[in-house]
Amino acid sequence: MNIPESPARQKWRQIIRRQHSSGLGVAEFCRNQMIPPSSFFGWRRKLTDAQTTTFVEATLAPRPAGIELRLRGGRRLLLFRGFDRELLAEALAALEAIPRHSEPGEPA
């Protein structure tokens, strides 16, 4: 059962998407939109926490010393020994920022 999102959540999701697509930093975007940065960061954290990345499966990749991370929505990441942890964090954040469509039988 899908519970409709509150108008406030919808509004902040749109604001966060606009900032992301604007190419502006958060401070500049908030200044231009007359939004308190503390509100922006608070809502972004709240909405991100509500969509915490859940790893569905981790398996050995066909290459030695590698793992494949399968995320919700069919997204996959291949990691090999010596991967850059900061790059992984950035990649996960970018993937989670992309709106996804639910697969049949998958919760929205």
**Domain map of the chain by residue range?**
1-52, 53-101
Task: With CA atoms as reference, report the closest residue to 39 among 84, 85, 8, 2.
Answer: 8
Torsion angle, CA of 66/71/75/76, rounded to 10 degrees? 0
pTM above 0.75, yes or no: no
pLDDT for 2 beyond 70 = no
Q: pLDDT tens-digit profile of 10-39?
A: 899 899 999 988 988 999 999 999 999 999
